[in-house]
Chains A and B, each alone.
Chain A
Amino acid sequence: MTLWLIILRSLRQHALSTVITALSIALAGGLLMSVWIVKEQSQATFTGVTGGFDAVLGARGSKLQLVLNSIFHLENSPGNVSAADYLDIKNNPNVALAIPIAVGDNYRGYRLVGTAPEMFEQVEYAPGKHYELEPGGNFFDPARKEAVAGSFVAQKMGMKLGDTFHPYHGLIFNEKDQHAETYIVVGVMKPSNTPSDRVIWIPLEGIQKMSGHDPKAATEVSAVLVKLKGSGTAGFRMDMMYNKQGNRLTFAWPIGATMADLFSKISWFDKVLELVSYLVALVATASILASIYNSMNERRREIAILRALGARRRIIFGAIILEAAAISALGMVAAFVFYWAIMTGAAVVIRAQTGIVLDPFKFNPVMLWAPAALIGLGALAGVVPAVKAYRTDVAEHLVPTS
């Protein structure tokens, strides 16, 4: 009780420096946890998002570009796949499901993706999960100019059933590039927390035969999303066939490995961010040392009085160490507020850009080790002023100094 009373009173007596120092710890802790969790969650999510497919077949080029374009609905299409190649892979005995997609148009910056009805009927975008519609909606009729809006697009654009719109040419919105066709929204998808939430789905032919598109490419598709039969051997054989022996097409398999390759290429960036957050944590910890150390002159008389009352040196030493740790602990409580704010901001941006949803409340071990490490570092920072307090000359400091 004595020790805690001494610590609490000291924290109160130095309230301003306590609050400022605790805030710097809070910022450092919040930043450290956010960087760590954004990195881990985004890596896990991006490498885990496959849209329910094993591979993507596209024009010869970068696998990463192919995956980003067809699964994450980012990046430009590397080129087209002919109808013959689509039918060829669809009929391949190693393939369980082959769904074509076509891209090339947008609605106010949101990508239009042409596809076949099987996308909604047969695909499990995650184990046991099919795309679902909000009540009252339908998936499009491939013969009509109908559209199904992803949940994020519908929310942002205020789209509802029965709304009509004109698509715009290209993947980047330009008001002058409006197509003549009018599409009607027949369905709004329930959130899937995948990149599909950020697109508007229309029939494949809608993109292929959109006014102004090259009629020669009217039967081509941008990519084919492939679900393989069985396990790795089918993928291996297809990889061999398209990538090693052929030179017209690219077979991106497995999808997760392609994304993992991307993350490994940009891992240096994670390391830099981590390093910055470690440095911020160190600076914040040093601020504890500085704030307690700077207040030692005014504390010495109090320490001398406590010692004259019979307090042992180790109590004084312990009180300073615990006070430093307590400032860190207070900071780490507030760090969760900063963490939540940073994560929420990051999650909004990442969702808007990719459709991927991060969960700030999902447990991660960093939520335990970061507070423990920062409280430990805080206590360590208290050692220097604690030694100074330990060595306080009682007789010299019992007399008030003016």
Chain B
Amino acid sequence: MQLLDISQLKKTFVAPDGSKHTVINVQSFRLAERAQVALAGESGCGKTTLLHLIAGILKPDEGCVMIAGQEMSALSEAQRDRLRATTIGYIFQTFNLLQGYTCLENVLLGMSFGPGADRVFARELLERVGLGNHLRHYPRQLSSGQQQRVAVARALANRPKLVLADEPTGNLDHKNATEALSLIRTGCQENGAALLLVSHDREVLGQFETVQAMEQINQTDATEEKKA
């Protein structure tokens, strides 16, 4: 069964000079439940925009994004927020942890917008990513690798059906990147979540059985120009 079903998705941005640039033009893209797929693409090819559209952070100009049977564009903004809080886990390249909150609070806060804060599960998740002794640490007190682990725990905290990972290893060294990727993949497997990861890192992409090139699914002005 398909968890994510994208069709005719289009997103255009207006440049400062007034010209329009189509950044996303995806005719069709599907992701099955529990599947783990990597999208490969260079910087600026629309990877982040695509993830924002899937997460409902951005609204498409055209087309539809169906997640777990719900069409995003048919939902109100509040309903999209709710769907994002309960169904989607998001891992950012820059971690995006809240600096004024402890590791535990970062995880709990993510939960509280969804099904509700579960302190026991939050602790368990942090222990699982190896931060059981850092519950009361603030992000600034952690290394980059540790911060990304907190972000992984936060993304899995609501037991999401879909985890979106945007260059999750982009800011990490080789060792931390390998560990983080492993945590994300096993975390998703254990929680029964599908994973859609975007990256330009060949080493990361090499870990996935299914890798799709952004160029193949996203027919933008840039890709058309390249073809020509």
Contacts and interface: CB of A to CB of B under 8 A. Distances in A.
A binds B: yes
Contact of B94 (A5, A307, A315, A399): A399
Nearest to B81: A312
A310 B117 contact: no
A2 B113 contact: yes
A309 B85 contact: yes
Contacts of B86: 310
Given A307-B81, A312-B81, A5 B105 contact: yes
A52 B139 CA distance: 72
Interface in B76-95: 77-78, 81-82, 84-86, 90, 92, 94
Question: How big is the B interface, by class?
Answer: 20 to 34
Contacts of B97: 305
A307 B55 CA distance: 11
Nearest to B83: A310
A1 B84 contact: no
Interface stretch (A6-14, A24-32, A360-368): A6-14
B110 interface: yes
A13 B92 CA distance: 23
B113 A311 contact: yes
Nearest to B155: A309
A398 interface: yes
Contacts of B105: 5, 9
B78 A308 contact: no
B46 interface: no
B109 interface: yes
B121 interface: no
A308 B94 contact: no
A309 B58 contact: no
B117 A2 contact: yes
A2 B112 contact: yes
A212 interface: no
Given A307-B81, A310-B82, A398-B92, A13 B100 contact: yes
B52 interface: yes
B106 to A, nearest CB: 9
B57 A1 contact: no
A85 interface: no
B83 to A, nearest CB: 8
Interface string A9-25: 11011000000000000
A298 to B, nearest CB: 10
Contact of B84 (A2, A5, A302, A310): A310
A6 B58 CA distance: 24
A2 B77 CA distance: 20
Contacts of A307: 57, 81
A400 interface: yes
A313 interface: yes
Interface string A294-305: 000000011001
A121 to B, nearest CB: 73
B160 to A, nearest CB: 10
Given A2-B109, A5-B109, A395-B58, A312 B100 contact: no
B90 A308 contact: yes
Contacts of A370: none
A12 B105 CA distance: 15
B84 A308 contact: yes
B60 interface: no
A283 B114 CA distance: 40
Nearest to B105: A5
Nearest to B97: A305
A306 interface: yes
Contacts of B81: 307, 310-313
* Most chain B CB atoms below 10 A, which of A6, A310, A314: A310
Contacts of A10: 100
A308 B81 CA distance: 8
A394 interface: yes
* Most chain B CB atoms below 10 A, which of A313, A394, A398, A399: A398
Given A1-B112, A12-B100, A399-B94, A312 B57 contact: no
Nearest to A13: B100
Contacts of A313: 77-78, 81
Nearest to B92: A398
Nearest to B79: A312
B113 A394 contact: no
B2 interface: no
Interface string B104-138: 01000110111001000000000000000000000
Contacts of B84: 308-310
Interface in A388-402: 394-395, 398-400
Nearest to A305: B96
Given A2-B113, A9-B100, A306-B109, 8 more contacts: A13-B100, A302-B100, A306-B98, A309-B85, A310-B86, A313-B77, A395-B58, A400-B94
30 contacts: A1-B112, A2-B109, A2-B112, A2-B113, A5-B105, A5-B112, A9-B101, A306-B109, A306-B113, A307-B57, A307-B81, A308-B57, A308-B84, A308-B90, A308-B96, A309-B85, A309-B110, A309-B113, A310-B81, A310-B110, A310-B114, A311-B81, A312-B78, A312-B82, A312-B113, A314-B78, A394-B57, A398-B92, A399-B94, A400-B94
3 closest residue pairs by CB, A with B: A310-B85, A310-B113, A2-B112
